[in-house]
Structures are given as structure tokens and as C-alpha cells.
Structure 1
């Protein structure tokens, strides 16, 4: 049993109420002069903020949260999960109205990693020891009830233990295991500090392997946007998917996952439709030969129409080049309208309105499809060309006579991010009666 791994964690008593300008390293050294090399000192962010003067006067906590928020991740009632100025995703941007005078709020340290380095350097100067320092704060977690402390600042601590490339006890390769050591340490310290015991500092001893250089401090713990599969709450994700759905005209050579397109079709067919009908059909052109055959036939028909219009050959060539976006795309989809279940009234106005209902429903389905593709991180461009040569499209693709092609959707991985869209003021498009 003596060889079994073990560590010791304790809270540091005797710290005074921290004030603006206090030297935290000196206060900790006075309260715990027995610190040794390899110890890890866990410091609650609240006293760091107080020492650094991060107390501000605020008419309301909500205003302070607004000022510290970079991006709203999720909102439910008055609760907001946001990304704050430090890059942390947490409730209320880390703005705290407890244990601070009425009319004031406490903000997180401006640079928690720098705060941790300063405390570490100060303890080295005061006691001649090499310790690790973590600045901790309380977080909730996705999928889990309850709160725990995590590391928001680090110095001299290996915040992540990357086990990828190794093997487990059975010789199985480890391909995804990266342990958040700093967060585990922070949670251990919270067990002895408590939330209301007035013990803002703890020490962990017996884990010297966790002490060492860290290239970017606790920032290593923050998942990048590209790797964050849960970047937004439900309503925020829906709004962003709609507004970030952009027309993409240049694609990489990366293949398109057919499963992703099928999932987008599944989202498409949830659109509203008249008379409980299903007016959508999606023809997936997954082979290059099918795409080339269709686009060649459409090009010949287009050239024929343009010559009939009396266009010059130069003009025709320029217009035909507009179809290059479909040729360059690695995947094409031809959405079609079917009128199954439509009503016939024998009256021109009513029959025209009936068809318009089905056209609108088809457009809603295609918009669902485009938004879902964006959710799959696929770019798209909805091009109208198949609507101008429906007979050709039906013939080449072997479609039923009652399927009406409603354009073509180029699908692929965007070669570059679309340019920013100029903002549009919603009030310009609203009439209230």
C-alpha cells in the first residue's frame, strides 16, 4: 500500500480580507510558510480580482455582464451563458455580485494566467520555492448538474496530460485521451476551500509530476471554435445557422460526405406544406459522370436559347460561364417540386394560387436543406438554371414527367470564408398594422 499513488490537499487558514493593491504572494507566504518545491497553490479568482482592483460600481449586474460579454452562447430567461473577454464560456461572464459591497460587482482577473505567474514569482521570491499556481473559478458543465471549480489561470502547472499515442493496460492504443489535470486539481482544492468557508487558498502536495512549464497557461483548456461541437445553445444555434447560411461559389477538392447530405434532406422535409402533402424530391448527383452529363445537356440548351434571343457569341460565352459554380462543385443536388395531393378547382385564379402554395412549400424545404448543410459545415449555392430547361433535366436524369426541377444546389467545402454581409435593419422590411 505504501507504493500506491497519493496526494495531500489542505486549505490555508489565516488569510485576511483581501483589499485592492494587496500582495497576494506575500499574504499566502505569511499564512503558509511551509510551502515546498512541487506544491501546487490553488487561489480562488475572487481574491485575485480584489487585489487587482477588479471591483466596479454598477447600477445592475446585467449591465456589467453586457460589458464583459463577447458572444452569447445560450440564453434561458435571465440566465446567460456567454463567452467573456478572457475567452471563457461561463454563466454571467464571471461577473459576481456576492461578497462585494452593495452597488458594486466583481469582475474576473483581466489576465488570469498573468495573475498566476505573478503569484508564483512572488512565492519564489518570498520562500525560495518552485511551486505551481492555479487561479480557479466556479463553473457549471454541459450535461452535468452542479458546480465545480476549474482552472482559469495557470503558471508552472501542466494543465493538460496528453496520453494520445500511448496504450492502456490491455495494449489498446489511446487516440483521444487528454486529461484536464489543472481542472482536476482545481476541483480537489474546492473540496477543502468550500464555497462559503472563507478559505480562498488551498495547497496540493504529492503530485510533483503536475508541476512544469505550460506554453499558454490555462488558455490550453479552452476548446477552439473549430473543435467546439456545442458552441451555441439551441435558439442561438438556430439563428446563427439561418443568418450564417451563405452562398458559396468556390469549393475545395475535399469529398462531400453523402451521409451529411442525407441528414440535410431529412431536415428539409420537415418544412410546412399544404394539405399534409410532401411536395419535395431531392435528386442527389453523387457521380461525376451524372453531373457532367446533366451540365453538358443544360449548357447546350442554354446556348440554343441564347442564340434564339439573338445574343452574340461573346455574350453567350460570358453568360454560360456563370454556370461554372455547378461544374466546380464536388456534389450537386437537384430539388424538385411534385404536386401530388394538390387540389384542382377548374378556376384560373384558384388553380394558380394552389400551385403557388406548393412552390412556396418547396422553397421552404430547400431553405431548410441549405441551412442544414451549413450546420454540417458544408457550403452551398442554389442556382436557378434547371428551372429553365426542365424537360432536358427530366430526360437526362430519367425523372417522372410530373417532377419539376427547382434549380440546382452546388454542395462542397468552402474554399474560403464568405465575405461579411452588410447588416440589414429588420425595421426596413416590417409593416405593422
Structure 2
């Protein structure tokens, strides 16, 4: 039936065993122009298995221990089950074993992914233009598993000359409904189509798709340009930003990763804070351990600007009075007060409080002091849970101890019961800037074994 949307896809035979230093573009050109094949034409898209690029680019490394190679390529463990690790590698790809492959390579060696798959795709595109005079798109593919779905599929890890994403937002569907979230991963769909004919064990590392020339970016001569037809961003554009990734955390690693994500944030944007997210963090906080089956936590949420300003003004006045009583100069007082402005910069404040309901009273002061210490530890565990849960909600936070120095003032301003002890304050909001790199600490330095 003519006139209907259609495309053809075929595997390209004749690609020999690839070795370090081979020119992949020339190998493809030679295979494509063999007798009986349709050749390559403007608008074709080539799917090239990353493994042959790794071999050509010398990414075959000696590694008797594959796990060590995975360690070197990984930047973050997302999930682990037994020996299997799902990790984020240095390219930003989340995949099993960081893409380190021990198949179809000599014993004692492993294949790493290409150093820069987008650059590899550009070289092939440029080479085919120079050799055959054709403008083609190139997609570098690798095999991924997927969350929520069984089975493997090929996806794009590199691309050149291809619109990797088709953004339909702002358009309408057949019924006139607005499309507000539809962005099609065109390069991944092409990769999967090519895999249907390449197969996993057929020795056919390259496939050609013909009939979808609208996804190919006009060649501007360098193989990496923009062109009048749209941006040639490469497959890097398919990697979701961490801030937008709702599934960034893995399974058993989720808590550990959230702890790592928890950072003290001192500069916030003006974006409003979702009160629901804060309440979910409170729900996590109150799962902390506590003595005597008690619930010693209370969280006061300051959601209005008026309540925050009223509290912080009263605390500032009390602090200044204390500093003057301690003999500080006005200059020193002003400097110290400015350092405490992190709470004023936040669009949302939370005051965690300790309540000693259910505590035991003993006849001697030593045991009573230990009893309070147990409750203080429980309060700290609740606050830590709270901070970690906020990080999981992609909210920045800073715990500041200042309310502990003027508890009477805080209780009076907020109208709290006399037995509620404010345990600092937590500034909450979206981080305005990325926090600096965390200073590495050797856990062994904090461990004593007996």
C-alpha cells in the first residue's frame, strides 16, 4: 500500500572482526557498497553496536577481575543484588556493570564502553560523508535492562546527525487535547529497531534504517553541527538530569544514597516548598527509635512568612542581648548575626521539638541525666531521618542549633507548651547552588574494634 508511513531496516553483512586502530567508517562503507546490497543514501540512519567501537578505540583492557573494572567505570551504585550491580557510569548512563563487557573478548580482558560515544558517532558520520558523499545519521547502541520491565533492549548511548528527542509538547493530539509531557526518545526507538535485525549473537554489528530521513539533521560539513533542520545534540541529551529523575535512587541503596545526598544548604531559591513533601519527611522522622516505646518528637512547621519573621526577629533580639551581656562589640555582634541569616534565606522553616512524655524519674540525678540523654539521642535520630527524607524529596536543608539557646523565646512566640524543647531549626528549600564536593572521610578512622 503506497502513501502509508513505512521504513525498511536491514543488517549490514561483511563487517570483519574489528581490531584496535580500525577505521569503522571505512569498514561500514566497504560493506555497504558490496555487490547485492542497496548501499547507503542520504537520510539513512546507521545503528552501530558500541562493542566494535570499543575494540577499534582500544577500550579492551586487561582485567582478570571484572569487578575492579566496574569499580573504575562507576561513579555511583544505584542498586545491588548479590554480585549484580546497577551503577551510574562516568557517561551518566545507569546500567548493569557500568557497561563493562567480558563477552566476545579474549580471556583476561574486558571491553569498556567508548570514551565518548557521541564523538565516536560523529567520526563515523564524517567518515561516511567523506568516503561515500552521503548524509546519514549514526546511533551508537548498547543493551540495557529496564526498571519495571523484563527483558533487554538496545538503546542509544551515542548519536550524530540524528534528532535524538522529538519534543511534541505544545502540540495537540487527534482530538485536540494539548500535549504537555510527550517527548519521544527517537534515538532509542531506532536502536531497538536495529537490534531486531542485528541480533545478539549473529555477528552483525551494524544495521541500516531507511525511510525516516526526517530524523536526520542536515550535514553542515563537520558532522557535529546544528544545521537549519534542528539541533544535533548527541545521545547525551537522553540522560535525564538528576534533579528531574524521580527514580534516581535504587532499592536497598535508597537510604544510603539519600544519606549521601543530604547536604547542608545555605543558599535557597525563592521557589515555594511543597508542604506535602515536608509532611512526608516528618512521617519518616517519626520512625526513629525512641526509649520506652515513646514518641518524643514534635515538628512545628512555619509555613507563613509572617510566622518565620516573627520568630527570627525575636530570636535575633534575644541573641543580641546575650552577646552584649557577654561583652561583644557591636561590630562583632553584627558579624555573628549575619552568620545566622541562613534561616532568613529559606522559604520554609521547621522547628523540631523534644517532648519527654513517658520518661522515667529516678531518685538520683545521674540516672535522670542519662534518661534525658536517651531522649535527646532519639530526637537527634528523628531529625536525621527528617533531613535524609527531605533530601529524598530533592529539598535542601540546614539544621541550625540557634533555637536551643532561647527556648523560652521560641515557645512564647510560637505558643508552644512549656514541656516542648526546641532542638534547633531546619531551613528548607530548593538549593540555589550546588553544594561543594563533600570532604572524603575514611570510615576506618572512626572505628575501634575490640
Tell me the TM-score normalized by structure 2. 0.88
Give the distance between the partners of 1:85 and 1:305, measured in 2 at CA: 51
Q: C-alpha displacement at 1:117, in angstroms? A: 2.7
Q: C-alpha displacement at 1:309, in angstroms? A: 4.6
Residue matched to 2:206: 201
Instruction: Say which of 269, 287, 309 aligns to 2:286.
Output: 269
1:387-398 aligned within 5 A:
387-398=404-415
Gaps of 5+ in 1: none
1:123 lines up with 2:128 in the alignment = yes
Check 1:252–1:123 CA distance in 2 against 1; reply closer, same or farther (3 A cut): closer
Q: Which segment drifts farther, 152-161 or 318-327? A: 318-327
Give the distance between the partners of 2:344 and 2:121, measured in 1 at CA: 55
Check 1:207–1:347 CA distance in 2 against 1; reply closer, same or farther (3 A cut): same
**CA displacement, residues 45-64 of structure 1 (integer Å, 9 cap, x when unaligned):** 22222233332222222222
Check 1:80–1:316 CA distance in 2 against 1; reply closer, same or farther (3 A cut): same
- 2:79 is paired with a residue of what secondary structure? strand
Give the distance between the partners of 2:338 and 2:290, measured in 1 at CA: 35
Give the distance between the partners of 1:28 and 1:315, measured in 2 at CA: 72
Q: Which segment drifts farther, 264-273 or 393-402? A: 393-402
1:34-433 aligned within 5 A:
34-35=38-39, 36-213=41-218, 214-309=231-326, 316-433=333-450
- 2:278 is paired with a residue of what secondary structure? helix
**CA displacement, residues 223-266 of structure 1 (integer Å, 9 cap, x when unaligned):** 23333333342444423432443333333333222222212111
Q: C-alpha displacement at 1:162, in angstroms? A: 1.3
Number of aligned positions between the proteins: 433
Give the distance between the partners of 2:404 and 2:94, measured in 1 at CA: 46
Q: Which segment drifts farther, 85-94 or 306-315? A: 306-315
Cα RMSD, aligned residues only? 2.5
**CA displacement, residues 390-426 of structure 1 (integer Å, 9 cap, x when unaligned):** 2332222222222122222222333333334433322
Residue matched to 1:31: 31
Tell me the TM-score normalized by structure 1. 0.91
- 2:379 is paired with a residue of what secondary structure? helix
Q: Which segment drifts farther, 359-368 or 30-39? A: 30-39
Q: Which segment drifts farther, 111-120 or 366-375? A: 111-120
Gaps of 5+ in 2: 219-230
**CA displacement, residues 91-124 of structure 1 (integer Å, 9 cap, x when unaligned):** 2222211111222222222232232233333333
**CA displacement, residues 336-373 of structure 1 (integer Å, 9 cap, x when unaligned):** 11122222233333222222211111111111112222
